[in-house]
Each structure stands twice: as C-alpha cells, then as structure tokens.
Amino acid sequence: MKRVIIIQARMTSTRLPGKVLMDLAGRPMLAQQLRRLAGCKQIDEIVVATTTNATDDSVVAAARQAGVRWFRGDERDVLGRYVGAARDANADMVIRVTADCPLIDAGEADRVVEALVAQRDRCDYASNIVRRTLPRGLDTEGMYADTLERLGRVGQSPPAREHVTYFILNERPDLFIIGSVTDMEDNSDLRWTVDFPEDLEMVRRLYEELGIGERTVGYREILTYVRANPAVAAINASVRHRSSA
C-alpha cells in the first residue's frame, strides 16, 4: 500500500501572499515543512500539489530543489487537484496537509496514518482535527484513495471543491466512517499555522530560539518551550478572531 502525503501550496494566498516561500531560518517556509515531513516513518512519498498559474512556477522549483514530486492543477478546484495528484503518484492512501504549517510534526502525522491503518475495515477518513486537541498547525488528514475518488465525484459545492474534505466533515458526514485522533491533553488554544504576519513572526522566533531549522525539534519540545515562555504565544494570539472570519 503506497502512502502519499499531498501538500497543497500556492503563492496567491489571500491573507499573506507568497507566504509558502517566505524566508524561515534561511530557507523557504515550504522547504522547512518538507524537511520536517521527511521524518514521517509511515509515508512512502511526498507530493506538492500546486496550480497551473505562472506565479506557482516558483513552488515547482522549490519542490524540485527539495527532491519531491509535484503536480499542477486548477487553482480553485483543490479537490480536483488532490484527485489528480493522487492518481499521478499511484497512491493507495492520501495524507493531506497544507503548506502553511512549518511546525508540523512527523510523529503526529504518523499517528493519523497508523489510526487509519488500524481501522482499515471500518474507517474511510481519520484526522487530528475532528476533535482538535493539538495546536492549529499540526493538522493532518488521512483517507484511502477510493475515499478521495468518491469525494471527487460527490463533492460538487464550491466549499467542497475548495476545501477538499469539507464534504466529509460539514456536508454529509453520515456517508463516511470518520476516525478521530486526539492527544492526552488539550493544547488547541495554541496557533502554529501561518496566515498573517504575526503568525510568521511567532514561527520565526521559535525557529531561531530552538534552532528548528538546523535540527529535528519535535512537538513536545516546542510545546514545553512555548508553555514556559507565554510571550511567544502572545505574538499571534490576537489574530485568532480575524482568522476565523
């Protein structure tokens, strides 16, 4: 069974354009995230799913530099892009992440894969966002290729095409067997994704102070540091309301 991470990335983010290639500890943010995902033990391949826009030629160049496969599809039809990327990679299982999570943890991503495999006969989809206990920015979703193909056929609303798993989680959850991966403690108050300048400032500070760009720093070590230094989390705490609009 071929397990493939598909990471969606584009330069035309509405909130922070070009964020996926902004500098983070001397490398593009996408490159840092790909480096962290390379530590996944349950994954066979990583694919960057970007758009056919000329503005995303630089995303393809970054994927090539990192030595990973890429796939290009429609900017607005992200679900269709995922279906195409999965077919191109001959994936049997697809793990979805987004390119604005430079603190994503390989071990936590592996946990989602393990949960899906363990429930193979009774689970279509598993993720750590059904009941969020991890910081926002460690988001990982897993599904079998036939589940993704099914989504491609039945998910036809604009939100379903744009947000890939929206149909499962928001429109017709009754049609799918959904697995939830949670942690022993709730740290969902923390925001580790990058949507706004304040988010990038916070992540850059963590990379600098913990040396994340030069070594593998796992979720638990980052969490311990953030809890011991609340001023770090305060850097982007004010964007929480704005980001939910």
Question: What is the arithmetic mean of pLDDT over 26-41?
Answer: 97
pLDDT single digits (tens) 114-159: 999 998 888 999 999 999 999 999 999 999 999 999 999 999 999 9
Q: Give the start-to-end residue ranges of the domains of the chain.
A: 3-192
Over pLDDT 70: what percentage of the chain? Answer: 98
pTM of the model: 0.95
Q: Contact 204/25 with Cβ under 8 angstroms?
A: yes
- The DSSP output letter for 168 is I
| Cα separation, 180 vs 126, whole angstroms | 6
Q: What is the pLDDT of residue 120?
A: 84
Residue 105 phi, psi dihedral angles, 5° rounding: -110, 125
* In contact, 164 and 136? CB cutoff 8 Å: no
Confidence tier at 245 by pLDDT (50, 70, 90): very low
Mean pLDDT of 80-107: 98
Q: Cα separation of 123 and 142, whole Å?
A: 10
The distance of Cα 33 from the centroid of its chain, to the nearest Å, equals 9
Backbone angles phi, psi at 42, to 5 degrees: -100, 10
Which residue bears the tokens 């102070």? 209
Dmax over CA atoms of the chain, in Å, equals: 47
pLDDT average, residue stretch 3-15? 95
Q: Kindly tell me if the per-residue pLDDT of 244 is higher than 50.
A: no
With the CA atoms of 133, 149, 4 and 143 taken in that order, what torsion angle do they form, in degrees rounded to the nearest 10?
Answer: 30
Which pLDDT does position 240 carry in this prediction?
67
- Separation of alpha carbons 212 and 206, rounded Å: 7
The arithmetic mean of pLDDT across residues 86-93, rounded, is 98
Domain 3-192 adopts which CATH fold? Spore Coat Polysaccharide Biosynthesis Protein SpsA; Chain A (3.90.550)
75, 42 contact by CB (below 8 A): no
Q: Which residue has the tokens 């946990």?
A: 111
